[in-house]
Each structure stands twice: as structure tokens, then as C-alpha cells.
Amino acid sequence: MSSAQLDNLISCFRPSSFDKDKTILNIGDKFDEVLILSRGAVRCYYLTPEGDESNKLFFFEDNIVFPVAPIARNQPSMFGIVTCESSLILRMSFTEFKQYLVAMNIWQPFYLTYLEWLVDSKVQREYRLLTLNKNQLIQNTIENESQVINRINDYHIASYLGMSPVTYSRLKPHS
């Protein structure tokens, strides 16, 4: 994609500002947008029947978020998206975004590259959650996901790591 093509694509996005802890996508709503984080951080989370949140992913500046799987585009969203910081998010309809990239004949390589990145991230996270003890999990996150450690509230980190806030607080290194 040339610089001019990229600039043209970016100009099609609508900027939206969000304060911290504001909902971008409610569970049950249709997720039909492409989001580019220009500034800030967001979390994607699931909700248990008891009302407990479980964070699945965090995204930061220059990350792109969109409904990758057909189930995410065609059914009510199983997860929500909420800001973790004051954020500036560029938004565009998924259909328009895909049509733009298809017209430029770059949808398939873009989609495959993003899908590979997403699956790699999920496999690595699953491996860590299933094989590391809580201390190792925290240390691994410190070493490999510094933005999560440095920018996300401890309560949300604990959820992301599959432990209670009390356990995380007790085990995390204190400076």
C-alpha cells in the first residue's frame, strides 16, 4: 500500500474520544467496526453468568481491532470492549474497510497477517496460563507485556492472568 493509499484509507476513519472506563462495545451488540487506537488502551473482556469479568486481550496505540472471525461479525458479540485509559479511537465500518482493501487487492495478505498475529498471541497466552505457576506467569507478563504491567489497573491484570486481585497483589513484585 502506498503512502497516498494509506492516507486515503485513514481519512475514511472517524475519530472518537473516550474517557477512561467507557464502553466501546457492549456484550450482545453487533461488532461491525474496525478500530485503530490512536491513543490510549482498551481491554476486551467476557462476562460470567455471575457477573464477573474476565479480560482476554489488551490493545494499545497503533493496534487495530476488528471482528476477525465470522462468528464475531454475524452474531451478537460475546465480549465487550472498554477503555483502560483516556483514548482516541479511529472507527470505520468493517464492511467499508474490507471493501477498500479488496479493491486494492490486499485484503487476503492483510487478513492472513493479522490472523497469524492474533492466533500466535492466543496460543502463547494459553500456553502460559496452562503451564506456568502464578509467580512465573506474573514474571513472564512483566518481561513480555510491559505495557500491560505499566498501564493497566492491577484488578484487570489479575483477571487477565486468571487470578484474584488479592493473589496478584500478594505475588507481584513491589518497587
Residue 175 pLDDT level (bands cut at 50, 70, 90): low
pLDDT, average across residues 111-135:
94
pLDDT tens track for 31-70: 999 999 999 999 999 998 998 899 999 999 999 999 999 9
103 or 175: which carries more pLDDT confidence?
A: 103
Mean pLDDT value across the chain: 94
Select 3-104's CATH number: 2.60.120.10, 3.40.50.2000, 3.40.640.10, 3.60.15.10. Answer: 2.60.120.10
Kindly report the pTM of this predicted structure: 0.91
CA gap 135, 171 in Å, rounded: 6
